[in-house]
Amino acid sequence: MRTKALSLFLLLPGVADLACADELRLRDGRVLYGKVTEENGALAVETREGTVRVATTDVTARRTDAQLLEAIRELAKGQPDTPFANLQLALQCHAWALDGELWRRLDELMAAPANERERWSRRIDDFLAQLEPELLPRKYRAAATEMRVEQFLARHREKDGAGKRAARLALLVAEQNADKELRVQARKNSDPARRALAVEALVRRNTAGNTSFAWRTAILDRDDDVRQQAMVVCAAAGASTGAVQYLAPGLTHSSALVRVRTAEAFGSLGDPAAQQLLVVAGPTAGSGLAGGGGTSGNRAHVAFLDQQAYVRDFDVEVASASLIADPKVDMLQSGSVLDVTVHGISQERVRIVRAYRSALKSLAGNDPGEDPTKWAAWLRDLQEAAKNPAPTTPGGAANEPGSKR
């Protein structure tokens, strides 16, 4: 039997702390769940929707949070650790306002492999979308979309469990007309985990233009994890069709950073179509960079000059019977002008080649080697091996492409 050590939860202002919630059954048939305190002979029950005060004499039965937790554990006895079982237990925890146990059950539910959750995905999403009172203070629930999106993300922490993250994601996906604000947050929010959550919500919403926004995030975001997560999310959601062609110009961009990030995005995406593009771009990885590359267009000059004024001549004019000498001043200029062609820094080329090589290794599961000029032959060998699998050795291992036979 699985057990849980109770812990105190510090929640944000406006969100009811129902980690410890009692059950009160009243004479009029109502059942209240919440944190109970005594006030002048009456009971104040702090529920998700606010505080309810009832007379002590109106209470016909009461179960403490410890008794409710014990009941949950009894329900869990003998049940397999499956997504469906954890979903049912989470539903019961929600009904009894046992938030701490609710999130623990949801963490276990989300830890299950995606293929095991697939069968129950609609029911899971529907339930997660009901958890707004647990995640958003009451004063923001009727706020404008911009404020709601901002507050959902402001309460997200990287250390939060998978259950809370999944619930916030489901609520952001269901939020009406939230695409504009999610894009703003995905670019401007200072917290990487919140930007990643906003990007995933955009992909899951499946609004026109959201997938290409996520693809651009894989190049533009300043955090490595966010860039990688953007591509992983697209691949998992089936939103990667066209990504390779969309991002391909990045391999020949004038910025070395963009080239590196494009290769990293291809590696995270896992689309074999990127292999040919990386192989072709490899031999010219350092050419055409801004301020480098050795082409005739990348020229610059610098001048070191010394200027000296001197009187070149005089013009004689007659004015009022007087002779006036008018000097003609000129400028003597000396020095040197250097006109150069700027070549790319070799370290940048090495950095780009390493990124291309790493992406190819990730995509093919095979190292193409250090020399980009040999990558085309390496790729042909891989493709031939895929068409004509090599016979296995007596020990059962197949000869790898490029290995000596």
The CA radius of gyration of the chain, in Å to the nearest whole number, is: 34
Which pLDDT score is estimated for 20?
A: 66
Bridge partners of 326, per DSSP, are 315
Determine the topology of domain 22-115 in CATH: SH3 type barrels. (2.30.30)
Distance CA 333, CA 310 (A): 11
Domain with CATH 2.30.30.100 in the chain: 22-115
Q: What is the widest separation between alpha-carbon atoms in the chain?
A: 128
pLDDT in tens, 23-69: 999 999 999 998 888 888 899 998 887 889 999 989 999 999 899 99
Distance CA 219, CA 208 (A): 20
pLDDT in tens, 78-114: 888 899 999 999 999 999 999 999 999 999 999 999 9
pLDDT in tens, 312-331: 776 666 555 566 666 777 77
Among the listed residues 96, 97, 122, 124, the one whose alpha carbon sits nearest the alpha carbon of residue 110: 124
pTM for this predicted structure = 0.75
Distance CA 278, CA 296 (A): 25
